[in-house]
A and B are shown apart, each in its own frame.
Chain A
Amino acid sequence: MKGLLTAVYALTLIVGFTGCAAFRQSVSDKDPSNSPPMDAKYDASDLLGWADEIVRSILEHPFPKPDAPAPIMAELGIQNRTNDHLDTQALADTIVTKLLNSGKMQFTNTSRRDQLLKEQGFQLANCTPETRAQIGKQLGAKYMLTGSLIEIDKRSGRQVRVSKQEDVYYQLTVEITDLETGLIALRKQHDRMRRVSKPLIGW
Chain B
Amino acid sequence: MTTAVIAASLTPDIHPDRPGRFFRLPAMVVLAILTGCTSGTLNAGRETFYLGRFTNAAAVLQDLPDNSAEQVLPLMERGMAHQAAGNYMTSIRDWLAAKDQAEQLDYYSVSRGGASLLISDHMLHFTGAPYERTLLHAFMAKSFMALDLWDNAAVEGRNIALRVQDLDGFPDDAYSRYVAGFSFEMIRDWSNAELQYRNAARLLDTCTINESSGRIHAVSNPPPDYRGPELVCFVSLGRAPTEHGSWAQRLAWGSSPYIELYAGEQLLGRSHTLATTRDLMAETDKKLAVMRAARTVTRVILKETAAHAVEEKNPFLGEIVRLLLYSLETDTIRRWETLPLWLQVARVPCPAKLESFRVVFRGAGGQILTEQTIVKPLSHRDTIHVSFIRAL
- A interface with B by C-beta (< 8 Å): 79-85, 153, 155, 157-158, 198-203
Contacts and interface: CB of A to CB of B under 8 A. Distances in A.
B162 A153 contact: yes
A83 B109 contact: no
Interface in B105-130: 106-111
Given A79-B151, A80-B151, A200 B158 contact: no
B107 A85 contact: no
A114 B322 CA distance: 72
A200 B152 contact: no
A143 to B, nearest CB: 23
Most chain A CB within a 10 A radius of its CB, from B108, B155, B166, B187? B155
Nearest to B113: A201
Say what secondary structure dominates the interface of chain B.
Answer: helix
Interface of B: 96, 106-111, 151-152, 154-155, 158-159, 162, 166, 168, 187, 189
Contact of B107 (A82, A83, A200): A200
B68 to A, nearest CB: 14
A199 B159 CA distance: 22
Contacts of A200: 107-108
A194 B324 CA distance: 49
B40 to A, nearest CB: 29
A198 B107 contact: yes
13 contacts: A80-B151, A82-B155, A83-B159, A83-B162, A85-B155, A153-B162, A157-B166, A198-B106, A200-B107, A201-B107, A202-B108, A203-B109, A203-B110
A85 B96 contact: yes
Contacts of B96: 85
Nearest to A201: B108
Contact of B111 (A80, A158, A203): A203
Contacts of A201: 107-110
Given A83-B158, A83-B159, A155-B166, A202 B152 contact: no
A82 B166 contact: no
Contacts of B106: 198
B109 A202 contact: yes
What 4 pairs across the A-B complex have the smallest Cβ distances?
A202-B107, A83-B158, A201-B108, A200-B107
B8 to A, nearest CB: 32
B154 A81 contact: yes
B158 A158 contact: no
B332 to A, nearest CB: 22
A127 to B, nearest CB: 35
Contacts of A155: 166
Given A84-B155, A201-B110, 7 more contacts: A80-B151, A80-B155, A85-B96, A201-B108, A202-B107, A202-B109, A203-B109
Contacts of A153: 162
A157 B109 CA distance: 20
Given A155-B166, A158-B166, A158-B168, A82 B110 contact: no
A85 B137 CA distance: 12
A149 to B, nearest CB: 11
A203 B69 CA distance: 13
A77 to B, nearest CB: 9
Contacts of A85: 96, 152, 155
Contacts of B110: 201-203
Contacts of B108: 200-202
A163 to B, nearest CB: 9
A89 B111 CA distance: 43
A79 B109 CA distance: 38
A199 B107 contact: yes
Nearest to A202: B107
Contacts of B154: 81
Nearest to B158: A83
A71 to B, nearest CB: 27
Contacts of A83: 155, 158-159, 162
Contacts of A203: 109-111
Contacts of A81: 154, 158, 189
Contacts of B159: 83
Contacts of B187: 79
A155 B107 CA distance: 15
Nearest to A77: B151
A124 B151 CA distance: 37
A146 B293 CA distance: 56
B162 to A, nearest CB: 6
Nearest to B108: A201
A94 to B, nearest CB: 19
Nearest to A200: B107
A6 to B, nearest CB: 31
Nearest to B189: A81
B350 to A, nearest CB: 29
A171 B162 CA distance: 18
A81 B187 CA distance: 10
A82 B156 CA distance: 9
A201 B159 CA distance: 24
A10 to B, nearest CB: 27
